[in-house]
Amino acid sequence: MRRQLVAGNWKMNASSEMTGSLLTGVLENLPADRDIAVFPPFPYITQAVAETAGTPVMVGAQNVAAEESGAFTGEVSAAMLADIGCSMALVGHSERRALYGERDYDVLVKVRQLMANGITAVVCVGETIEQRKAVREESVVSEQLSLLIAELSNADWEKIIIAYEPVWAIGTGETATPEQAQAMHAFIRSELKKVSDTVAEKTRILYGGSVKAASAAELFSQPDIDGGLVGGASLDAAEFTAICRA
Ligand code: 13P
């Protein structure tokens, strides 16, 4: 049985005060039957790790350097993330792909850095509205997964979570229908069979894109949806808590 995970990607939104109050709200209402993770901006990770110490809440980063260490001004390495207590990191978020030119090869290299440091990679995939209109959503997602499927070992996959985030649903208020999301999640799981049946069965696949408390329960009850990656709604403790318990 895959344990569900609800993760909050705060994107570039936070302050010390907000980090404290958001986490207080989340910790007051933790569900017992699900994993919960938060992805604050880099400067607030240490605070979040301290404030969630001794609780089941995991803390992750929104990005990681492709390089190990050295003269890479402005970058943050996987070793540093491990050192400050991060157990997860997002890789290949659609905003990183669209705004910062991140390619599938960069995603693979970053995943490898995370693996080498014992950090779980949450790899984000998803098609644009043009690609969906052209009925290319499956081929786009298949392409985004193909290097990982070709290059990573069965053991590596124990440290990978996939997040399906259709670009047209991110920050738009337009959630994929449970049927659309389930269909893509089932497709992703069938792609993972190329690695092995075990990997296909065990890998958690999260849905992301305008998840709200009102839509979460139906999405999370689909057989191949193992939780959510929540953006905007994760910045409101009451809303995020309701999603975590949906
Ligand atoms: P929204 O929930 O704001 O649509 O963002 C989704 C997302 O990009 C999470 O990584």
Prediction pTM value: 0.98
pLDDT of 246 > 90? The answer is yes
- What confidence tens digit (pLDDT) does each residue in 4-41 have? 999 999 999 999 999 999 999 999 999 999 999 999 99
In angstroms, the CA 206 to CA 2 distance is 11
Annotated catalytic residue 165: yes
Superfamily of domain 5-245: Aldolase class I (3.20.20.70)
Question: How many angstroms is it from 227 CA to the middle of ligand 1?
Answer: 13
Question: Is the C-alpha dihedral spanning 87, 10, 178, 25 positive or negative?
Answer: positive
Structure tokens at 1: 């049985």
Annotated catalytic residue 93: yes
Ligand 1 pocket: which of 123, 170, 219 to mutate (most atoms within 8 A of CB): 170
Length in residues, the chain:
246
- What confidence tens digit (pLDDT) does each residue in 101-140 have? 999 999 999 999 999 999 999 999 999 999 999 999 999 9
**Element housing 16 (H / E):** helix 16-28
| Block residue for tokens 């910045």 | 235
The active-site residue, picked from 165, 185, 191, 239, is 165
